[in-house]
Amino acid sequence: MLRLLVSRIILGLLTLVAVSVLIFAATEILPGDVASAVLGQGATPETLAAFRLELGLDRPAYLRYLDWAWGVLHGDLGHSLTNKRDILKTIVPKFQNTLFLAGFAAAIAVPLSVGLGILSAINEGRWSDKVSNIMSLAFISVPEFFVAYILILIFAVILQWFPSLATVYQTMSFGQRLYVAALPAVTLTMLVAAHMLRMTRSSVLSIMSQPYIEMAFLKGLPRSRVIVHHALPNAAAPIIAVIALNLAYLIVGVVVIEVVFVYPGVGQYMVDGVTKRDLPVVQACGLVFASAFILLNTLADVLSILVNPRLRQPK
């Protein structure tokens, strides 16, 4: 088991290195000139040449990548090209906002989806199971920005229960943050809960044909008890995997939601960096998203090993 755990962790680190190379290469091949985009069309050739020299654009790409990666290892994400601010100091509070929004949505989505998935498995083929399947398919099929705008129209414009813009700041109380972030959190919940509900239902039902489940039914145990006490523990591994994957999406996939609600998170910061051609900001945000995604997927692999007795025992 220890060998499996170490291999998963090493694989996660190697994946992060490969993703960092892809992030740097993707920002390097973007069309246009960074110096011209930052300084504007009125910049003189001498100013552009001096700015390119300052950015190190005259050096080979692999040397610039090694310098960037070395700085990242030492906690230096560089400085923004537009305002010269330290990116690490800027991105930390924004990442905290993103984690707050993702945690808010996860606190609603995980128990709701797992509970409804178990309920659907218990009531397989009944009207409640059919309704949950239809609703989950509908939420999976609808784009996230469309869901966000519908919620804004209903709850912010018509009913005026919540603000349309999720503007948060450091001096806000916890209750105010919950109120302001309610609409984007509900939007994310509607998107990820459908995936987790369907996976929970299918994972539980896939165990129902096992011999020990049939034996439990032959003993006269009710279906709800068989599912909760016998099927669910053995279906935990795929459920944990899909929960971790959707938690990663809550962090990485918030870009569109943050832009729609003007939420001051890493996604909004990244979009602003792309708009201004601020490559160090884009690279830093991409690396943060990739690290969070890889970390949660590695954690899912580790938890799947820990909850699966067959993987814990030597062959």
For residue 126, CA distances in Å to 24, 129, 135, 226, 291 come to 52, 5, 15, 18, 42
Residue 39 confidence (pLDDT): 64
As a CATH number, domain 87-312 is 1.10.3720.10
What percent of the chain is modeled with pLDDT above 70?
89
Q: Quickly list DSSP for 67-134.
A: HHHHHHHTT---B-TTT--BHHHHHHHHHHHHHHHHHHHHHHHHHHHHHHHHHHHHTTTSHHHHHHHH
Average confidence (pLDDT) over 67-92: 83
pLDDT digits (tens, 9 = 90+) for 145-190: 888 888 889 888 888 888 888 888 777 888 888 888 888 988 888 8
User: What does pTM read for this prediction?
Assistant: 0.79
